[in-house]
Amino acid sequence: MDSIVTVRALRKVYHVPEREAGVVSAVASLFNRKTREVVAVDSIYFDLPPGEVVGFLGPNGAGKTTTLKMLSGLLYPTSGEALVLGHYPWRRERKFLQQITLVMGQRTQLWWDIPVIDSFEMYRAIYEIPHKQYRHTLDELTELLELAPLLRKPVRNLSLGERMKCEFAAALLHRPRVLFLDEPTIGLDVTMQARIRAFIKEYNQRYGSTVLLTSHYMADVEALCKRVIVIHHGTILYDGDLLGLVHRFSPEKTIVVELREGSFDLSHFGRVIEQDGARVVLRVSKDDTPRITSQLLANLPVLDLTVEDPPIEEVIGQVFAQQEVA
Amino acid sequence: MKRLFDIYYSYMKIVIAMQLQYRASLLIWAFSSLVWVLIPLVVWVTVAKSQGGQVGSYSSGDFAAYFIALLIVEQTTFTWVIWEMGERIRSGQLSPKLLRPIHPIHEDVAWNISYKAITFALILPSALLIGWAFHAEFHPHVWHIVVFFPSLISAFLMRFVMEWTIGLVGFWVTRTSAINQIYSTLFLFLSGQMTPLSLLPRPLEMLANILPFKWAVAFPTELVLGRLTPTQVLLGFAIQASWLLVSLIAFRFIWRLGISRYSAVGA
Amino acid sequence: MRYARLLGTFFRIGLMSELQYRANFFVQAFQSLVGLLTGLGGLAIVFGQTDNLDGWLPEELLAVLGVYILIGGIVGLIVRPSLERFMEDVRQGTLDFALTKPLDSQVYVSTRQLEIWRLFDVGLGIVVIIIALVQIGDSVGTYQAISFGIVLFSGSVIVYSFLLSLATLAFWFIRVENLLVIFESMYQAGRWPVTIYPQPLRAALTFLVPVAFAVTVPAQALTGKITWQLLVGAILLSIALLLFSRWFWHQGIRHYSGASA
C-alpha cells in the first residue's frame, strides 16, 4: 500500500429532475418524474503517494468538489473504487474519519456563537486528542497562523480571513494524515491568500501530510503544487507536473519587446497581443521563437526583450476551450 | 464510554456558557413553558368548580397537582429537534457533522440537556409557586418519588430517540413543518399534555394507550401523583422499554436509509 | 384615500409574490386548519365533561375561539411581520430607507410587510364566528352586532398600539424581539375567556398585556355579556393607546434621528 489515495474508475452520476415551466408541466411532474443524467465525475483514475501536494484544477462544475466529497466520505460514488488510507471513505469508519480533514472554502465547521478556543476544545474531545498533544499542536498552529488575538473571540465576530485561519487550525488539531482542501482561498484578499498558501506549504513540509487541493485560482496551484490534475466535464485532461502542462498544451511563447522609439507594425513577426506605444507583446509559436527573436533584435531598435511562457490561466483556458469544441 | 463522557462534558461546559449569553431568550422560553401549562390548569380547575368541585377522579387540587407534575415531566423530556432537522439537512449543515468521528445525535443530546440544566433553576421554583397558589393536592409516598426518576430518564430517552428519528423525514421531504405540526397536535391530545387521559372520550383514551406519547408524559406524571398501582407502574416501565427498543431500531434503520440517500443526492 | 390605496398595493404585491410558491398555499391552509381543529378539539374535550364554563356556554366559547383566530390572523397578517421587519431594520441600521419615503413613517412601517397566508386564519375566524352566532340563535340583536363590531375594532386598535409601543422601544434598546414573543405566548391564554383566570393573572391579561380587550371583550359583546361601562371603556382605551403609541413613536423617531446626527 504505497499510495495514500487510490482512485479507480471512480464515477458519479446525478439524476437531476427536469421540468418545463408552466402549470400543466408542474402537475404532470407529480405523476411522471422525468430526470436527466448529469455525469459529474466520469471514471477517473489516479494515485497519490504520501506527502504529496496535488492541485485539482478545473472550472466550476468540472467535478473537483464532487471528487473531494467522495474521497472524504460525504458522497457515495455511482461506480468505481476509491481507497484512502486503506479505507473506503463512504463507510465513514471512525478510524478513517480521525485521520482525514476536509476544509471547505465557504462553509464553516466552527460553532458560530462561541469563542474559537471553545470550538477547538470540542474538537479535542471529539477526536480524542490527548491533552499534551493537543496543547502542543495548538501552540504550533497558533504560532504558524498568528491566532493569539483571535482565540477568545466568537466566530461570528471574525472577518472572513481570520475565520479561514481558525478553520484551518480546527481542521488540523488532530494531525490528520490527509488534507482535502476545497477552494480554501476563495473570497480572501490577496495578502490573506498568500498567508494561507505559505501556511499550507509549511505544514506539509513539517508534517509530511498528503494534500489534495482544489482551486480555480492558478496562483494557489502555482505556489503549492508540483503535480497538477486538470479535470473538466468529469474527465481528467492532464495529470503531471505544472511545467509539463504548459509545454503540452501551449505550443506558444510570449515575447515582450520594448523599442527605443516609435510605433512599428510588428504583425508580420507574430500575433500582437498588446501594443502600448513602444512596448509590444507578441505571441509566437514555440518553434519559431529563436528565429523571430533574432529577427527582432537584428531589424529593430530594441531596448529590452524578454521571452516568457504565456500565463497559465490562458493555457488552462485554452485547454478548456478546446474541450468545449471537442 | 469514557470517550463519550469526555465529549459530553466538553460539549455541555461550552454550550451552557453559550446559552447563558442568551439569557433573555432562555427566560422567554421558560416563561412560555409556564404559560403553556398554566392555561389548561386554570381551565380544568374552572371546569371542576362548575361541576361541584370534582371531574372524574380529579378534584380542583388534583388538577393543580397534575399540571405541576406535568410541567416537571415536560421540562425533563421535551425536545425541539424535529423543528431544526429539516433546515439542517436542507442547508447542508449536516455535512460538517458527518465528517466528525462521532454520531451527530450526541451533539443534540448535549444541547438539550444543557438547556434543561439551566432553565430548571427557574422552572422548579415556579412550579412550587403555582402549586401553592392553586392549592395543589400532592400526597406522594416516598417510593413514588424514588421510582419517578428512572421513569423520567427512560421517558426522556424514548422521546428523544423517537423525535430525532421523526426529524429524519427531512431527508425525503422538504417541507417538514406540516408533518411536525401533525405530530405535535397528536402529541398534545394523546400524551396527557392538554388533559388527564382518563377524561378523554373512551375511544381516544384507548388510542392513547397504544401510541407511545402517553408513556413519555402521562405515565411518569400519574406515577409521581400516586395514581398508579404497582402493577401499572411495572407495566408502564415495560411499555416504555419496548417503545425505546422500537425507536432505537427505527432510528438505526432510518438513519442509514437517510444517509445513503443524502450521500447519493448530494451533500 | 392615499393610504388605503397604498395598503391595497402592499396586499397585491404580497399576494403575487407568495402565489409563486404554490406548494405553500396548501401547506399554509393545512396549518391554519390544524390550528382550528386543535382549538375545536380542546373545546370538545372540555364540554365532554361539563356544559358550562364559568357561565360560558359551548357556543359562546366557540365565538371566543373564532375571535381568537380572527384577531390572531389580523395581527399575523399585517402587524407582526411589519413590526418584525422594523425591529430587524433598527438592528441592521437599514431603517433610513423607510424613513426617507414620502409617507407617514408610522403607517408605512406598520403595514409594509404582509404575511399573506394569515388570510386563512382571518377567513376561518370569521367562519367560526358565524357558526357560533347561528348556534347561539335568535338572541343576537342589532345592539349586540353593532357593539361587537365596535369592540372588535377597538380591540384590534388596542393590540396594534400595544405592539407598536413595544416595538418602538427598539429605538432605545435595539434588541426587543423577545418582548413580542412574550405577547405571543400570553396571547394563547385568550383562547379561553379571561374571566376564568384568578385575579392577578386576569389583571395581567387585561392591563399588562391586552389579551382581554383583544378577544374576550369582543366575544362578550357578541354574546350579550358586555356592560356599557366595558364598551365605553374599550373605546376610550383604544383612543388613548392609539394616541400614546403615536406620540411614543415620534419620540422614538426623534431619538433615532438625533442619535445619528
Judged by average pLDDT, the poorest of A81-95, B67-81, C219-233 is C219-233
Domain residue extents for chain B? 2-265
- pLDDT at residue B21 tops 60: yes
Contacts of A29 (CB under 8 A, 6+ apart): A17, A19
Q: Examine the domain organization and report whether A268 and A180 are in the same domain.
A: no
Residue B263 has pLDDT above 50, yes or no: yes
pLDDT in tens, C151-200: 999 999 999 999 999 999 988 887 788 888 889 899 999 999 999 999 88
Backbone angles phi, psi at A75, to 5 degrees: -125, 145
- CATH number for the domain that contains residue A304: 3.30.70
Task: Give the model's confidence band at A241: pLDDT under 50 very low, under 70 low, under 90 confident, else very high.
Answer: confident
A235 and A272 together in one domain: no
Domains held by chain A: number: 2
Cβ C53 vs Cβ C46: under 8 Å: yes
Q: How many residues does chain B have?
A: 267
The tens digit of pLDDT for each residue in A285-299 reads 888 888 888 888 888
Q: What are phi and psi of A193, to 5 degrees?
A: -60, -45
Average pLDDT, chain B: 91
ipTM confidence: 0.87
Considering the domain boundaries, does residue A179 fall inside one?
Answer: yes
**Do residue A109 and residue A134 come from a single domain?**
yes
User: Which of A72, A94, A124 is the closest to B101 by Cβ?
Assistant: A94
> Residues 6 or more apart from A38 whose CB is under 8 A from it?
A13, A14, A15, A16
Residue C261, pLDDT score:
38
Residue carrying the nine cell digits 383562547: C191
State which residues form the domain around A27: 5-247
- Those residues of chain C that have pLDDT short of 50 are 260-261
Average pLDDT over residues B82-104: 90
Among candidates B260, B102, B256, which has minimal Cα distance to A76?
B260
Q: Does B188 touch chain C (CB under 8 A)?
A: yes
Which residues lie closer than 8 Å to C89 by C-beta, 6 or more apart? C95, C97, C98
Residue A165 lies in a domain: yes
Task: Tell me the C-alpha distance between A184 and A298, whole Å.
Answer: 48
Asked if B210 is an interface residue toward chain C (Cβ–Cβ < 8 A), one would say no
Return the pLDDT at B156.
97
Q: Which residue has the cell 449543515?
A: B93
B93 pLDDT higher than 60: yes
Please report which helix (H) or strand (E) contains residue B244, including its range: helix B230-265
Phi (first) and psi of residue A62, to 5 degrees: -75, -20
Distance CA A49, CA A57 (A): 18
A45-49, A311-315, B202-206, C24-28: least confidently modelled range = A311-315
> From the CA of C175, how many Å to the nearest CA of chain B?
10
Cell readout for A169 is 487550525
Percent of chain A with pLDDT over 70: 91
d(CA A146, CA A137): 14
Q: Domain holding A241: CATH number? A: 3.40.50.300
pLDDT for A92: 87
Contact of B200 with chain C, judged by CB distance below 8 Å, is answered with yes
Interval A310-318 mean pLDDT: 71
**pLDDT over 90 (residue B243):** yes
Q: What is the mean pLDDT of chain A?
A: 85
DSSP code string of C177-238: HHHHHHHHHHHGGGGS-GGGS-HHHHHIIIIISTHIIIIIHHHHHHTT---HHHHHHHHHHH
Confidence of residue A138 (pLDDT cuts 50, 70, 90): very high
Per CB distance under 8 Å, which residues of C are interface residues toward B? 23, 27, 30-31, 34, 37-38, 41-42, 45-46, 48-50, 52-54, 175, 178, 181-182, 185-186, 188-189, 191-192, 196-198, 201
Most confident of A249-258, A271-280, B70-79: B70-79
Based on the fold, state whether residues A155 and A32 are members of the same structural domain. yes
pLDDT tens across C199-217, in order?
A: 889 999 998 899 999 999 9
Chains in touch with A (3+ beta-carbon pairs under 8 Å) read: B
Q: Find cell 373512551 and name the residue.
A: B202
- C31 contacts B177? CB cut-off 8 A: yes
pLDDT at A278 (0 to 100):
82
* Chain A interface disruption, residue of B8, B12, B95, most A CBs within 10 A: B95
Amino acid, single-letter form, for residue C167: A
Considering the domain architecture, whether residues A145 and A292 belong to the same structural domain is answered as no
| Amino acid identity, position A59 | P
Same-domain status, A168 and A135: yes
In one letter, which amino acid is A221?
V
Predicted local distance difference test score (pLDDT) of residue A20: 59
Query: pLDDT (tens digit, 9 = 90+) per residue, A39-85?
Result: 889 999 999 999 999 999 888 778 888 999 899 988 888 899 999 99
What confidence score (pLDDT) does residue A25 get? 59
Evaluate whether residue A313 is within a structural domain: no
d(C-alpha A209, C-alpha A172), whole Å = 11
Residue A316 lies in a domain: no
More confident residue, C87 or A247: C87
